[in-house]
Amino acid sequence: MINKKYLKLLRSKDRKYGKNFIYNEISKNIIDSLDILKVPFYNILQLGINDDLVINYLKEKFPSCSITSADIDLSAFNKKTERKFIEIDLDNLQIKNIKFDLIFSNFFCQLTSNFDKLIGKIFKSLNTNGFFIATIPSNENIYQLINSMYETDNILYGGMYQRMNPILDTNYIFKLLKLYNFDAPLINTNNFTIEYSVFKKLLDDVRSLNLTYAGYDKRNNFENKKYFIQLEKYFRKKYYENNFNLDINYNTICAWKK
């Protein structure tokens, strides 16, 4: 179960909005998928405000479209723009009296405690012939760092702690989309590798993605300098190849409401 207060705190902090290389690269995949479609979108919902690449693309392609951006915390954003902003509870998505031709989300939907309910709410919020597309982490996402953290836990604490939020199984997601009567559901796995010369920069980028475990049973102690020294030491031993390599693996989910 996700600790909503802790997650809201994470979302309120500076997440390098618009400048995070990882978010931007994943957004390009959403844009590529949308660019293939030959249908217009007039009313659009962005679930999770992580970057503006898709927003800018949609504004250019559909100049008269109306865009609403939704997040669980809006304190970090300048709302004096052309689009609307709404604060939401991701576990109980409520958007009254509005339906959308397109709902898109970049690395955000995985933060819910109730993915089943969220998919049902998304379906209800789409117009007929509406399109849903979202990216979420896959099982192999940042595996180098996760494995290094588990090994560091073993060395320092004699056991492992949950470090990242659980990952949703693609077969489960596909069955869920069919259950809610989405048409032509498709899930693709994508990946790219980032090379870091400085380990701290790698950690900073990962922190800004809000992948850190946010359950109520989260370890509350802040890790000290000793932990990160050992973490870098193991990462360097196991995965270092002239640089600190980090694999970003994610699933792109898309489906129509017919």
Structure confidence at residue 222 (pLDDT): 72
Give the domain CATH number at 120. Answer: 3.40.50.150
Structure confidence at residue 80 (pLDDT): 67
Q: Give the pTM.
A: 0.92
Number of domains present in the structure of the chain: 1
Structure confidence at residue 115 (pLDDT): 94
Provide, for the chain, the percentages of residues in helix, strand and coil under a 3-state DSSP scheme, each rounded to the nearest 5.
40, 25, 35
**What is the 3 state secondary structure string of 87-115?**
ECCCCCCCCCCCCEEEEEEECCHHHCCCH
Strands 183-196, 66-71: parallel, antiparallel or unpaired by DSSP? Answer: unpaired
Q: Which tokens sit at 241?
A: 């190849």
Structure confidence at residue 249 (pLDDT): 97
User: Could you count the other beta carbons within 10 Å of the beta carbon of residue 158?
Assistant: 7
List, in sequence order, every residue forming a beta bridge with 245; answer none if it has no partner.
Answer: 195
Q: Which domain holds residue 156?
A: 4-257
Q: Which tokens sit at 37?
A: 């479609």
Q: Which amino acid type is present at position 182?
A: F
pLDDT in tens, the chain (258 residues): 788 888 788 788 766 666 788 999 999 999 999 999 989 999 999 999 988 899 999 999 999 999 999 999 888 776 667 789 999 999 999 888 789 999 999 999 999 999 999 999 999 999 999 999 999 999 999 999 999 999 999 999 999 998 888 888 999 999 999 999 999 999 999 999 999 999 999 998 998 888 887 777 777 677 889 999 999 999 999 999 899 999 999 999 999 998
The beta-carbon contacts of 89-92 under 8 Å, at least 24 apart in sequence, are 89/4, 90/47, 90/118, 91/2, 91/4, 91/117, 91/118, 92/117, 92/121
